[in-house]
Each structure stands twice: as C-alpha cells, then as structure tokens.
Chain A
Amino acid sequence: MSIRTEPVTMNVGPIHPSTHGVFRMRVTFDGEEIIDVEPVIGYLHRGSEKLAEERTYTQVVTLTDRMDYVASMTNNQSYILSVEKLAGITPSPRGVWLRMIASELQRIASHAVANGFLINDLGAWHTPLLYMLREREKILEMFEMLCGARITNSYLRPGGVFMDAPDQFWPALNRFLDEMPHRIDDIENLLSTNEIVLIRTQNVGVLKKDECLNASITGPVLRASGVDWDLRHKNPYDYYDQISFSRPLGEIGDNHDRFLVRIFEMRESLKILRQCIENIQPGPVRPKEVPFLVRPPKGDSYVPIESPKGELGFYLVSDGGVSPFRCHVRAPSFINLTLLREMVLGDKIADLFVTFGSLDVNMGEVDR
C-alpha cells in the first residue's frame, strides 16, 4: 500500500517576523521540499513616482529618502546625480567628497543590517544582530551630526551637499575607523567559521552566473555568483575613479557567499573612507549659483549608482518646469526579487527565509 501525499499551499502572510517588510508569499510544498513560490507584492505602495511629479526637485529628495529606508544617502545620491546631469550643474569638490563619505558610511550600515537580520533568521536569538546594530548606532550618530536626522536624512542637494560637516564629525569618523575593523573581525569570528552557520547556508539557494546575467541581477548578489561588475569601477560617478579599492567576488552563488561578500565589502568601504578623508580639501560645499528652485532644460537623464542593494538609478524626464515630468526608479530589490523562485525550488522550508534574507530585499524599494 502506498501512502498518498498531497502538496500543501500555504500563505506566508504580509505580517511575519522574517520577511523584511510587508511581503507575502504563497508557498507550495510537498513534505519539506518547496515546489512553488509565488510572491505577492504591493503592500507598501505609496505612489512615490506619481507624487514626485507634483513636487519640486528639492522636495523630491525627501521622497527618495523613504524608498529604501535603510540606505537613504545612496538614494539621495542617485537622484541628485540624475538632477545634476539633467540641469547641467557642476558640483563643488568638497560636496562631492562629503557625498562619497556619507554614501560609504551608509553602505556599511546597510550591510550590517542585512547580515544581522540574515543571522537572526537563522535563529541566533538576536545576538549578532545586536552587535551589528551597535556599530550602526555609531554611524547614525554621525549622520545626526551631519544633517540632524538619523535615517531619513535629506542631506544632498543639487550641486553637492547642503551644509558642511561640523567640527565634531571628523574626530568621530576617525574613532569609528579605528574601532570598526575589530568589530568586523569579531563578527567574522563569530559566524563565518561557525559550523552551524556553515551547514545551514552552504549550497543552499544557489544562483549560477548565467541565471544572474539573464535576469539582470546586480549588486552583492551578482558578485557572489562570480561576475565582476561594480558600477563604481565600470561606470565611475562622483570621484570614484580617483580612489582604489577592490571588489570581493564569490565562486558559488549560495547564501554563504553572499554573506561573506557583504562582510568583505564593509572592509572595502573602510578603505574608501580613509582615502576620502585624505583627499578632501576645504571649500564651499555647494556652488552659490544653484538656485532653490531648479529648472532644468527639456530632456531626460539616467545616472545609475552602486547602492548597497544593487544598481539604483532614477530616470528623470523634464519639461522645463520646476517639477519632474516623470520620475521612474530602477529599484534593485525589485529586480533581484524576481529570481526568488528559481533560487528556492528544491530546498526545504526552513531555507526559504534564509535565502530571502540573503537577497537583502527592502520592501520600500520594491513597492515604492
């Protein structure tokens, strides 16, 4: 007598402790193995792209903060670079260096959050998460020194940064640069040779090179699968061509590689920060002739940058007025999410959340 089994479809609802944000999945599994995953998104849609058509170029900066709410500085940077190209504004050098410093700090903070929550999904009762959040606190304090708000900072303006860094910022940054390598080493010691983490994350959620390239995946996910593509090297914006740093590449694109790639990228960001501090010169942070209301000539522009989650770009179309005519966001999390089904098929249920966490998806960006 054979036992008749039947696959079960279950709803992993929008409210769930392990989906980062409001994300719903309809999972079909047979026993322990996953047969089908159907993501349902749209629970955080706020109409940012439509709202941007009614606001002036400076006011849209506040909207871009709130799309990827974990990494606001890089969102601002992508938008402002697009505006500058559209309006033909040359930013001032000190502003650009400050932009790069803020952006690299934000990259460290975002990777810390991503890795911390990944290990949290594995079940290590918040301990590594709290260690990473302790480091992120220092970064958020530095952001408060710079611009008064910790997370949704609207720090960048067309032409540079809107206000110079205060005097307390530079000693705090140097202190941070001295302590952070030890903390990253701590986390690496805690986790990357831990046998339980290795057993849970190796050879799980494998993503091969050609699948990535066919689906336009970008960011640490792509680099963990072995493709050498980083927009800061291939398509340099700001002053990234004057700085030398390396990019970590993985071999097999599984969860463990993605986890390690983010940790190595945090170290590379520290290197970039040191070079920025050496290169920065006193001066104005914003050219004086940039008006409060920017009126770019007719045209369109798209400048992609390397945000912590992948390639982020704002496609701006202007018709000569004070508001953009159309603002479209190429959100990396949205595009990386399309491959969730292929990555997860054949693995067990418990691996679903770990794989999803290692993709580092932010629902604010997916739904806008």
Chain B
Amino acid sequence: MFGFGLIKGLWVTFKNLIGPTFTVQYPDKRVGLFKVAKYYKQNPFSFLKSHPIDGLKSIVGQAVIKEYPDQFPRFRGQEFNWYEDRCTGCASCAKYCPLGIIEIETHPGENNIQEGTSYDIDVFDIDIGRCMFCGICVEACPFDALHMGSGFEKATEKREELVIAVDELRSADKRPSTWFRPQIEQSSYQPRDKEMDDFHDIGRHEKPTKEELTERWVNER
C-alpha cells in the first residue's frame, strides 16, 4: 500500500534514535560519576573524597575527561623518530623521498676517514609542511634508523616552525610506529601507551641473503 515505504523509513530512523551514538568526543568529553571514577581508576566513593569539586560536577554529569580516537600501531604519524647511533648519513631517505623534503648535510667523521663508514650529521631537516607521510623514506633506510612517529597534534603557528631540525629530532620522544618495522610489531609495543625506551634489542628487518641477491642481480640479468 502506498505509504508503507515511508513508514519503514521512519522506523529505521527511530531505531537509530534509541541506539548508541558513534561520536568520539575528542579532545575531552563530559561524563557522570561512574565513568569519571573509572577514568581515574578509583571506585566512586574514594573519587568523591579525593576530588570533591569534580565529584560534584560529575553528579550532574559534567565532569571532564580526556578522550582520544582509536589509533593502531602502524599509524603513520606526523613526527619522525631518528636513532642517531644507527644513522650513517647515507641519505637514502632523502634520495627516495618523492617530494625531496629531507635535507642532509654531513662531514666525514674523525675516525675511519679512509673507510668512510660514518659521517657526522650537520643538518638533517625534514619539512613536514610538505610531507605526505607516505613512509618511503622509512622503507628506504637500510639501517632502520628512521621511523615514522605516532603523533598527530603537531600544529604550529608559523610555516617555518614546521621544519623539524636535527636537534629536535635528537631530543624528541621516541614513539615509533610499526610501519615497515615488523620487528617492533612482534614485541607488542603500543606507541600510545609509553615511550619506547630500549630499541637496541630489536633486530633489523630481514634483508635478502647474499645468495638471493646474486641470483636476482647477477644470474638472471
């Protein structure tokens, strides 16, 4: 009969009215007593004793807690994590960046000048104002020195401040994302929870063996 389609539509909308919402209230949301006590990991009574004002606010449902959206370990974040003792200054990351935003300047180190196994880094600038976070630089690094980060709240007020200089890279928090680093993933590290303190036990990603390289590059050609 004419009109039943409309009524079915009204019914679907009504079901969604009484169902849950899927909003993630970032950065903070207002909750009642039980949720705020769970956030501070106390039971409601001790919460009321320790935070009286927040407790009063939570009884009317207006206490404020922080909330973040779900983020997974492989998230390609907006910062970069650089382990200087693994970096040799080979500039593979700068060479393979599709946009050419990494700038590296080095001078040969004091030891082993003849062998040139290590360079001292003067300038290592990454311009995240123009970066597209594709991760090819991370993929290209042969020594696992560069990783993607997991933050996303890096807004600044001037465009010049978006260039990450080498000092900032050295001193920043190290929360590497597990993009193209399966060895970090196997250690069940969650970038959001804590900073990665000791990276040196985790090995490098698997590289082709010498036989496979010979097969591909010498014999097949």
Contact = CB atoms under 8 A, between A and B. Distances in A.
Contacts of A162: 139, 180
A33 interface: no
B13 A149 contact: no
Given A144-B72, A168-B72, A154 B135 contact: yes
B76 A137 contact: no
A285 to B, nearest CB: 10
B22 A194 contact: no
Interface in B132-181: 132-136, 139-140, 148, 177, 179-180
A141 B180 contact: no
Interface in A168-214: 168, 186, 189-191, 193-198
Interface residues of A, number: 38
A148 B179 contact: yes
Interface string A53-66: 00110110011000
Contacts of B71: 144
Contacts, number: 92
A296 B133 CA distance: 27
A147 B74 contact: yes
A291 interface: yes
Nearest to B97: A59
Nearest to B180: A163
Given A144-B75, A146-B74, A191-B9, A289 B96 contact: no
Contacts of B180: 162-163
A145 B74 CA distance: 6
A246 interface: no
Interface in B61-111: 70-76, 96, 98
Which interface residue of B12, B22, B179 has the most chain A CB atoms within 10 A?
B12
A216 interface: no
Contact of A288 (B6, B70, B72, B208): B208
Given A59-B98, A145-B72, A194 B6 contact: yes
B215 A189 contact: no
Contact of A137 (B22, B75, B132): B22
5 contacts: A141-B70, A148-B74, A148-B75, A168-B72, A186-B12
Interface of B: 2-6, 8-9, 11-13, 15-16, 22, 70-76, 96, 98, 132-136, 139-140, 148, 177, 179-180, 182, 185, 208, 212, 215-217
